[in-house]
Structure 1
Amino acid sequence: MAAMKWWGWGLEGVEFTHADKPELAPFIEQRIGLDVARPIAPPARFDDLDVPAPTLPHGLRAALESAVGAEHVSVDPLDRVVHARGKSIRDLVRQRRGDLPRVPDAVVRPAGEDEVTAVLRAALDADAVVIPFGGGTSISGSLEAPADERRPVLSVDLGRLDKVLEIDEHSRLARVQAGVFGPHLEEQLRARGYTFGHFPDSFTHSTLGGWIATRSSGMQSDRYGDVADLTRGLRVVTPAGTLVTQPVPATSTGPSVREMVLGSEGRLGIVTEATVQVRRLPQERRILGYLFPTFGAGLAAMREIAASECSVSVTRVSDAPETQFSFATRKRSTPVDKLKSKALTTFLTRRLGFRLDEMCLSFIGYEGSTGHVAEQRRAVGRIVKRHGGLCIGSSPGALYDQKKFDTPYIRDFLLDRGVAADVSETAMPWSRLTPVYDAVTAAGHAAFARLGVRGYLMCHLSHSYHGGACLYFTFAFEPAPGSDMLAEYDVVKTAIQQAFVDNGATLSHHHAVGTEHARWLEQDLSAPGVAMIEALFAGTDPGRNLNPGKIV
């Protein structure tokens, strides 16, 4: 698969536009004071970048070329810059500025586990740093080498390990190489009548190994589980040899080594293969749109659905600010659409008593046999009705399903115009949901006020569990004239993250730790917890050759 832009999200030539969304420009100007028609500030031209020359010892290069072939050891400047960082707002701002403190000295592309082993052995013999690379979508600072790293740095790109090797149809288990991208994984499984069911926002550009390394969750994790639930067995190349965990449904063999690898961000080794749980393609798949009078009513409905016997694939409800943003991104309406919208608005306000500025949009997904889907829809419909909600049909859900992977492009659209936009997500018990939401909202707006900027903060519930849920916050603001965008971004991001841990929530539900969230790890896990992780990393990788500086 083609690499993403060195300066932004996605592929060259693909971008978000407001031209076909007549309400978006006025909405953005009203909320954060940005005129989207202002001239765009383009990133630096790649040819103008001062890309540091590679410092690859001759003996190490010869060993790498012997391991994977000379054509699969790249010192090309663009290739190295693409692999230097992920896609966090900090990564993109610095890339666009041409700030390149520590670029990998080479990008190495092994084709199998034996080659990965040979690459790691060569790196250890040369005391080089190894950073595993999947799709490069990390937004937590998980891919950049420490700025003061003086040893050779290798980015090990696993894109050639992209096959579904075997499907155990009796057990519904698939052996899959770790470098496979989401679309190619689903394509191979669907040809056999299966699905993995894991669809994170980054699905188009991320890999199975990356999902495992960051404990990813997907949009349909309510039904399928997150990647930690789906991953049954692993093969990981480590400094001590190849770690293998068996794909058994349960085991009582001491602390879980499988769990140690999940979320380890390359600190324990290079994941080459996983045995994952797959399911037969559902007979029917449907996502319906709902409206709730308030965010509180929507959260209560999601909580009741989670506690019920209902089995749904998606539970998502946006707060009022996110709902208003979603409506502002609608494309130009036809006369018939306008009539329908007016009739619905009249019904909501006059018959149901909705206030349009408090109304919240929700999506609930259903999968399975036709009979199962119909039964689940009826059961959920009764719960929704009890909380004052209304089903508005399949059209909004179908549109959400089509556009669900486009959201990251909006961040680039805003960044082009000098606006910082980012996300922070967390999880907490149901009893803490509203207190966390209120605390984070207050903290975010207080940070905007301290900076003297007009900011926008919105949120949605994205995953439901029996005992709690994930809240996913998005914020955007235009920095004060003459200020440093990243310094002001840190004020807002810090306020939100600190509000998480201060109010009984976790520092991250599915975006990992990296370097962006590491400062809150002790508050999340306690000092003994951090010490345990440090001991694990030190015992497995005493030379700190594997992606040093991440997590702790």
Structure 2
Amino acid sequence: MTAPARPAGTVDVKHMKWWGWGVEGVGFRHEDKPAFAPFVEKAIGLDLRQAASTARPDFADLKVPDSRAPEKFVDALGEIVGDGNVVVDDMARVVHTYGKSLRDLVRVRAGEIARTPDVVVYPADEAEVRAVVDTAVDLDAVIIPFGGGSNIAGSLEPHADEDRVVVSLDLGRLRRVLDIDTDSGTARIQAGALGPDLEAQLNEAGWTLGHFPDSFTHSTLGGWVATRSSGMQSDKYGDIADIVRGLRVVRPGGVLVIRPVPSASTGPSVREMVVGSEGRLGVITEVTAQVHRLPEKRDIYAYFFKNLDHGLAAMREIAESDAAPSVTRISDANETGFSLATGKEAKGIAKAAQAGLMAFLKKRGWNLDEMCLSFIGFEGGAAHAKRQKAIVDRIVRRHHGLGVGKGPGALYDQKKFDTPYIRDFLLDRGAAGDVSETAAPWSKLRQVHAEAYRAAHDAFGRIGRRGWIMSHLSHSYHSGACLYFTFAFVFGDDPLGEYDTVKRAVQQAFIDAGGTLSHHHGVGLEHARWLEQDISPQGVTVLSGLLAAADPGGNFNPRKIVV
């Protein structure tokens, strides 16, 4: 006997809209960006004047599978967390079915929902998480931890052929900064805290985590850890693997505890095993993270380079230098054109200055179709930031770059979390816009870029669509950097088949050219097919053995990462 419908919950936990990114009423508009429509038409052949937006999907049209959760099981969960915090209604289960990849959104908008979680549970603290986990494991149920739902690697969805009861364990009520160790510069933070919430709590005390992924507004600390996330300021603060010092992870019958020591020589790192584990080793409930005093000064400056070769050489030299910027980002020529096309119309003095700059660059012999836009950030005390910028400015000049001040950087800072809305805007008009990212050594970075472009254009030819690809370097390291690619095309008769053709071509190009299958989006289901090529067959054997030994019943988010 399945559970009857229950109320949608009594607690305020924020969720994104079921059919797209972000919250209701917020979206991308192009009418105030005069260069955007011509750019899109040239890039992928989509005429925004003729392409009408599709109507918002009607939830009433969805055929949502019935919950399979036995009534006694739901009642038992209600005794643990309170009846209002156990939900089996259709909307809640659909919201917790997918992440926000293009594949996810195409399917949910088309009503393709083969399997949903059977019940959504909102525990209030670690003790309740432990009780929920033990109760679910006793039933041999599947437990899928849920943070903000922003994942784009297929790490959240239950398998269509899963016969067991599926529990979506939503950590949204665990969202407090519990303690700040001011001497050590660490903070204990509950895993369900969304980026804006945890930063607001830290900022109030004069601290920052410094971790700002694209999904910052709608993703959680636990999700960042579970998928090995990277942020826009990782050049200074590190990736999440560098930021995490301690962890608490609920497992059947107990809690795995990693104490927040600065370093340890105690065998293979269990902390590292948990980071990137995507819920397969248990439920992360608490993270002790490195935090930093709020910087006295924070500025993002914009630079132009003559072409990508000059720009990449400058980024590599900056990584080798004594400079320690917080952001080193450079867009290739295609993405630079896209960025300029998304700007609002300049007027008055700004318009004249922009025209004057372009004329000046032409006079210097620049091909404006090849120039690349870069953003470099500096944080810290005023004197420190000034020294860092002086070092970077000298490097930029050696590579024939030109600084254009803080104005464009300030605009980038304001709009840095808005890009996913553009993907939804295109999807509304029958077009795909998606991303793939990788990391590679400096010596192979240009080859990875070229091979990804070649593979994408070959794939566009195979599906018979006009396509577009662009890229930026988003994170620099001593030995290499991350390249982040975006590709787009107008759907034909087989949207997901066409998407797969392009996505697989780009991902394979990464591996073949010496890059990794993913730098910061995780593995999930989306990237699992390339894992053996990335970490070797023996690497997969070791990883499979770890997961099988740690979760012999396959209760924790099964078949993610390693199928």
TM-score bin (small chain) = over 0.9
**Residue number in structure 1 paired with 2:517:** 507
Alignment of 1:326-341 (within 5 A): 326-341=339-354
Tell me whether 1:426 sits opposite 2:442 in the alignment.
no
Deviation (angstroms), 1:47: 1.1
Q: 1:463 and 2:475 equivalent?
A: yes
2 CA distance for matches of 1:60 and 1:255? 38
Task: Choose which of 401, 405, 413 in structure 2 pairs with 1:401.
Answer: 413
Tell me what 2:367 maps to: 355
CA–CA distance in structure 1, aligned partners of residues 222 and 212 of structure 2: 14
Q: Which amino acid aligns with 1:538?
A: A
Per-residue CA distance 1:121-142 (angstroms, 9 max, x = gap): 1100111110000000000000
Q: Which residue of 1 aligns with 2:130?
A: 117
- Contact residue 43 and residue 97 of structure 1 kept, 8 A: no
Report the alpha carbon displacement of residue 333 of structure 1 after superposing the two structures with TM: 1.6
Name structure 2 gaps, 5 residues minimum.
Answer: 1-12
Corresponding residue to 1:193 among 198, 203, 206: 206
User: CA-to-partner distance for each residue in 1:139-175, whole Å, 9 max, x for gaps?
Assistant: 0000000000011111000000000000110000100
| 2:325 matched residue in structure 1 | 312
CA pair 240-252 structure 1, distance change in 2 beyond 3 A: farther
- Is the contact made by 2:14 and 2:172 (CA closer than 8 Å) also made in structure 1? no
Residue 379 (structure 1) aligned with residue 391 (structure 2): yes
Residues 77-476 of structure 1 mapped to structure 2, 5 A cutoff: 77-350=90-363, 352-476=364-488
- How far apart, in 1, do the equivalents of 2:70 and 2:142 lie? 13
The reply to whether residue 516 of structure 1 matches residue 526 of structure 2 is yes
1:379 partner letter: I
Structure-2 residue corresponding to 1:29: 41
Name the CA distance, whole Å, in 1 between partners of 2:344 and 2:30.
9
Q: Distance in 2 between matches of 1:458 and 1:503?
A: 17
Letter in 1 for 2:533: Q
* Residue aligning to 1:18: 30
Amino acid at match of 2:218: H
State the SS of the aligned residue for 1:393: coil
* Distance in 2 separating the partners of 1:291 and 1:42: 40
- Asked if the contact 2:134–2:253 (Cα under 8 Å) also holds between the matched residues in 1, the reply is no
Deviations 1:52-75 (A, max 9, x none): 111111221122111111110011
Note the 1:467-506 alignment, pairs <5 A: 467-480=479-492, 483-506=493-516
> Is the contact between residue 239 and residue 540 of structure 1 (CA under 8 Å) also seen in structure 2?
no
- Give per-residue Cα distances to partners, 1:405-429, cap 9 Å, x unaligned: 0000000000000001100000011
Normalised by the length of structure 2, the TM-score is: 0.97
Matched-pair contact (CA < 8 Å) for 2:234–2:475:
yes
Q: Report the AA paired with residue 523 of structure 2.
A: V
Counterpart in 2 of 1:535?
Answer: 545
Matches of 1:224 and 1:466, distance apart in 2: 14
- Structure 2 CA distance for aligned equivalents of residues 3 and 499 of structure 1: 35
Partner secondary structure for residue 404 of structure 2: strand
Could you say which residue in structure 1 is the equivalent of 2:10? none
Partner Cα distance (1:207, 1:65) in 2:
24
Structure 1: segments with no counterpart, 5+ residues: none
Counterparts of 1:489 and 1:312, CA distance in 2 = 36
Residues 232 and 276 in structure 1, CA contact (< 8 A), matched pair in contact too? yes
Aligned residues: 549
**1:231, distance to aligned residue in structure 2 (A):** 0.1
> d(CA) in 2 for partners of 1:53 and 1:93?
22
What's the CA shift for 1:434? Answer: 0.6
Contact 1:68-1:111 at 8 Å conserved across structures: yes
Matched letter for residue 302 of structure 1:
M
In structure 2, C-alpha distance between the alignment counterparts of 1:298 and 1:82, rounded to whole Å: 42
Deviation of 1:43 (Å): 4.5
Q: Is the 8 A contact 1:233 1:246 kept in 2?
A: yes
Question: Match of 1:511, as an amino acid?
Answer: H
Give the 3-state SS of the residue equivalent to 1:300 in structure 2.
Answer: helix
Alpha-carbon offset, residue 240 of structure 1: 4.6
Q: What secondary structure sits across from 2:461 in the alignment? A: helix
Q: CA deviation at 1:238?
A: 1.0
- State the alpha-carbon separation in 1 of the partners of residues 57 and 294 from structure 2: 45
Report what 1:551 is aligned to.
561
2: distance between equivalents of 1:336 and 1:47?
51
8 Å CA contact 1:179–1:272 kept in 2: the answer is yes
Alpha-carbon distance between aligned partners in 2 of 1:58 and 1:450, rounded to the nearest angstrom: 51
Q: Residue 462 of structure 2 aligns to a residue in which SS?
A: helix
CA contact (8 A) 1:414 1:421 kept: yes
User: What code does the residue aligned with 1:216 have?
Assistant: S
